[in-house]
Amino acid sequence: MSNTNPVDEVLEVVAQVLIRCTVIGVIVLLIWWGALELFGDLAYRVHSRIATMSRPQFDIIHYVGMLMTKAAVSVLFFFPYIAIRLVIKNRKKQSSNQAVEATS
């Protein structure tokens, strides 16, 4: 019989999913930034044909997009991961305290 609580197992799985989503989000941001650094002029030429915009407007659009993506990754994935890790830590502490009291 397993010694772990099913709730603890679910919390562990959710934490693993959230940290993987955080890593994927950071990788997307790094690729986005790298693509703009390497191919920014090409991307600007392609997009300026579709929609009339200046280079500073193009840069601001991408800067705001990266900022919003970073905020979304932090709020939706990283902060919940930290919260779940704190909950897991507190649950383990409580269960070890209960085990000590039960043996006393």
Q: Comparing 71 with 1, which gets the higher pLDDT?
A: 71
pTM: 0.84
Question: In angstroms, how far apart are the furthest CA atoms of the chain?
Answer: 77
pLDDT in tens, 14-73: 999 999 999 999 999 999 999 999 999 999 999 999 999 999 999 999 999 999 999 999
25 Cβ contact partners less than 8 Å away, ≥ 6 residues apart: 69, 70, 72, 73, 77
Q: Which residue has the higher pLDDT, 99 or 70?
A: 70
How would you class 18 by CB atoms within 10 Å of its CB: exposed for 0-12, middle for 13-18, buried for 19 or more?
A: buried
> What does the domain layout of the chain look like in residue ranges?
20-103
Distance CA 63, CA 48 (A): 17
Amino acid at 34: G
Q: Which of 23, 39, 28 is nearest to 65 (CA)?
A: 28
